[in-house]
């Protein structure tokens, strides 16, 4: 204590404005290089940090302390300098451990940071063991740092599974560097720190403040990544050309012509659109196994780089076979929505169904296809279907308006206050199994966009059933016009 006092004096930190001792304390722990300091710096931003250290060991064993600001949350944050195992260093270790142990004793909460790009390392397991031994009564949150790029690649789920085995509950994905996941960190900490929430005078309770991903507000303005997929000969290249409004892609009747990468860019209504290379998808024919399947693997990867996936179907083929989607098409559509992409279905070659004797067919297809798609892909309701003729060059605007619309919904962020007003209303609409077993949602919040992801914080023992979650998803879609967008809801218990 004396040490801290003298250190405070020496650094002349002005603590008069905010009495740090009244704030809850959160310590950041983790093996070296996982990004503890980076997270610490993000949390305290430009405010001053107090540094104190053991006299014997000035250089590396610092513990920094600062006041963190995360939305309307204020807490004291400690940056431990890295716990090390006996194996890595002998005597420094015991001192560090002892010191961190002391600091730990003054903390109510711990953020256990791991590096998601490295995956779980033996050292992480050691830290976990150490925490379990020393951190009794300290609520520990596991945060997978450096998640910024993995989010796009959809690899986080697997890593979250590993991190869960640490035994500290569901991990959250963050990036100390870009600010990705700070909203989720806020939502995780908020119920824990609720008693400590300090509303400072002149302190705007600013929701935007917690959406800290650097480019967050730019989200929907950032280039839209579009993938056009479909079986051979449905008219993907023709459609591409219509979108690009110039002949950049070779068009021909032979299957597999577009296998080579297409990376193009165009503007639509002041928006930049990137066409993601997905050639090869559904192009497999029995004969070519080697290189073709390789290109399918590659395209699958690139497919997941897209924000919006447009699946092109052939109207003439639908009329002939009387089925909207062939097996391969169903597979890819399901995969797209399971990966959290926005899906737009395009029924091409509608010109072939024009003319007197075809007008019935034309109408039938327009009515039947969306319905059939709904039954084939029950995971997402309201998938948009557009009917075009790429050959006639029509449909550029129709297709792009739908794609942009899907993208904007996919990026949507709903403020917590609005969501909770909404929640109160819908909860009364839902027929619960019975009053006694009805779960209590303390509040509901969107932790992520692209795709919209929500967390329900529950008090009490009851969990939301699958039916409850389906009901919430359906209501969100109806009330916020999110048709066709994959929506995710998870639940978390709070004391």
Residue 293 burial (CB count, 10 A): 12
- Determine if 223 is a binding residue for ligand GDP (CB under 6 A): no
In 3D space, the residue among 86, 111, 114 whose CA is nearest the CA of residue 98 turns out to be 86
Provide, rounded to whole angstroms, the least separation between the CB of residue 91 and ligand GDP: 20
CA angle centred on 103, ends 1 and 210, rounded to 5° = 115
CB of 468 to ligand GDP, least distance (A): 34
Nearest to 103, CA basis, from 67, 53, 176: 53
351: contact with ligand GDP by CB under 6 A: yes
Identified binder of ligand GDP from the candidate list 69, 76, 146, 284, rule CB under 6 A: 146
* Among positions 55, 90, 201, 253, the unique one binding ligand GDP when judged by CB under 6 A: 253
Indicate the residue among 96 and 416 with the shorter CB distance to ligand GDP: 96
Region of 200-208, 232-240, 399-407, 467-475 interacting with ligand GDP (CB under 6 A): 232-240
Cβ 31 to ligand GDP, closest distance in Å?
A: 7
Q: Which of these segments, 188-196, 206-214, 333-341, 384-392, binds ligand GDP (CB under 6 A)?
A: 384-392
Binding mask 390-429 for ligand GDP (x = CB under 6 A): xx--------------------------------------
Q: Which is nearer to ligand GDP, 100 or 416 (CB)?
A: 100
Interacting residue with ligand GDP among 131, 176, 229, 412 (CB under 6 A): 176
Determine if 18 is a binding residue for ligand GDP (CB under 6 A): no
CB of 313 to ligand GDP, least distance (A): 10
Question: DSSP code of 223?
Answer: P
Smallest gap, in angstroms, from Cβ of residue 45 to ligand GDP?
Answer: 15
Q: Which residue has the tokens 């806020």?
A: 186
CB of residue 32 to ligand GDP, shortest distance in Å = 4
Q: Which residue has the tokens 């919006």?
A: 308
Query: Does 445 sit near ligand GDP (CB under 6 A)?
Result: no
How far apart, in whole angstroms, are the C-alpha atoms of residue 1 and residue 3? 5
**Span from 14-22, 62-70, 214-222, 252-260 in contact with ligand GDP (CB under 6 A):** 252-260
Stretch that binds ligand GDP, among 134-142, 245-253, 265-273, 446-454 (CB under 6 A): 245-253
Name which of 2, 312, 32 is nearest 145 in CA terms.
32
The DSSP-derived string for 426-476 is HHHHS--S-GGG--EEEEEEEEETTTTEEEEEEESS----HHHHHHHHHHH
463's CB contacts (< 8 A; 6+ apart) are 439, 491, 493
Q: Choose the stretch contacting ligand GDP; rule: CB under 6 A; options: 69-77, 127-135, 175-183, 427-435.
A: 175-183
What's the DSSP call for residue 248?
-
Q: Which of 175, 295, 302, 324 binds ligand GDP (CB under 6 A)?
A: 175
Site map for ligand GDP, 201-220, x if CB under 6 A?
Answer: --------------------
- Options 225-233, 320-328, 440-448, 479-487: segment touching ligand GDP (CB under 6 A): 225-233
Angle at 145 between CA 172 and CA 487, to 5 degrees: 40
Q: Pick from 24, 66, 71, 82: which binds ligand GDP (CB under 6 A)?
A: 82
Give the total residue count for the chain: 495
Give the residue from 130, 53, 36 showing the smallest Cα distance to 86.
Answer: 130
Give pairs for 120-128: CB < 8 Å, separation 24+.
120/162, 120/163, 120/165, 120/166, 121/31, 123/31, 123/84, 123/85, 123/88, 124/30, 124/31, 124/166, 125/166, 126/31, 126/83, 126/85, 127/29, 127/30, 127/31, 127/83, 128/166, 128/167, 128/168
How far apart are the C-alpha atoms of 78 and 315, rounded to whole Å? 62
* Interacting residue ranges for ligand GDP, rule: CB under 6 A: 30, 32-38, 82, 145-146, 148, 175-177, 230, 232-238, 251-253, 258, 348-349, 351-352, 389-391
């Amino acid at each position: 204590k004396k040490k801290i006092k003298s250190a405070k004096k020496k650094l002349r930190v002005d603590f008069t404005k905010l009495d740090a001792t009244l704030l809850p304390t959160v310590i950041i722990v983790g093996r070296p290089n996982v990004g503890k300091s980076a997270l610490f710096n993000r949390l305290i931003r430009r405010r001053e940090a107090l540094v104190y250290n053991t006299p014997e060991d000035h250089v590396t064993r610092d513990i920094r302390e600062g006041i963190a600001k995360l939305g309307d949350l204020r807490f004291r944050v400690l940056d431990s300098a890295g716990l090390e195992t006996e194996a890595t260093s002998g005597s420094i270790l015991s001192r560090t451990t002892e010191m961190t142990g002391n600091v730990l004793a003054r903390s109510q909460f711990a953020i256990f940071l791991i590096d998601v790009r490295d995956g779980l390392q033996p050292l992480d397991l050691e830290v976990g063991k150490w925490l379990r031994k020393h951190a009794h009564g300290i609520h520990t949150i596991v945060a997978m740092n450096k998640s910024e790029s993995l989010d796009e690649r959809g690899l986080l789920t697997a890593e979250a599974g590993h991190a869960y085995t640490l035994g500290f509950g569901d991990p959250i994905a963050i990036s100390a560097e870009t600010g990705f996941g700070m909203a989720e960190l806020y939502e995780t900490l908020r119920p824990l720190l609720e008693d400590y929430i300090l509303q400072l005078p002149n302190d705007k309770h600013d929701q935007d403040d917690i959406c800290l991903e650097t480019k967050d507000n730019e989200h929907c303005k950032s280039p839209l990544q579009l993938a056009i997929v479909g079986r051979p000969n449905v008219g993907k290249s023709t459609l591409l050309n219509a979108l690009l409004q110039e002949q950049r892609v070779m068009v021909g009747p032979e299957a597999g012509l577009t296998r080579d990468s297409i990376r193009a860019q165009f503007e639509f209504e002041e928006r930049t659109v990137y066409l993601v290379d997905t050639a090869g998808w559904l192009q497999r024919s029995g004969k070519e196994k080697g290189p073709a399947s390789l290109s399918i693997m590659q395209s699958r990867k690139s497919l997941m780089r897209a924000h919006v996936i447009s699946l092109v179907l052939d109207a003439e083929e639908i009329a002939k076979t009387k089925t909207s989607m062939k097996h391969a098409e169903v597979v890819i559509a399901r995969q797209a929505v399971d990966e959290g992409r926005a899906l737009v279905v395009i029924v091409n070659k509608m010109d072939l169904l024009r003319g007197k004797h075809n007008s019935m067919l034309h109408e039938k297809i327009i009515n039947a296809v969306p319905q059939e798609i709904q039954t084939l892909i029950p995971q997402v309701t309201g998938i948009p279907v557009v009917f075009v003729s790429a050959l006639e060059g029509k449909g550029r605007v129709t297709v792009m308006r739908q794609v942009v619309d899907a993208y904007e919904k996919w990026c949507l962020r709903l403020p917590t206050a609005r969501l909770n007003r909404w929640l109160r209303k819908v909860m009364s609409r839902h027929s619960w199994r019975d009053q006694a077993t009805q779960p209590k949602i303390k509040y509901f919040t969107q932790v992520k966009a692209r795709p919209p992801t929500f967390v329900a914080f529950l008090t009490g023992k009851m969990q939301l059933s699958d039916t409850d979650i389906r009901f919430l998803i359906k209501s969100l879609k109806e009330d916020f016009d999110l048709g066709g967008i994959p929506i995710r809801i998870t639940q978390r218990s709070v004391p």
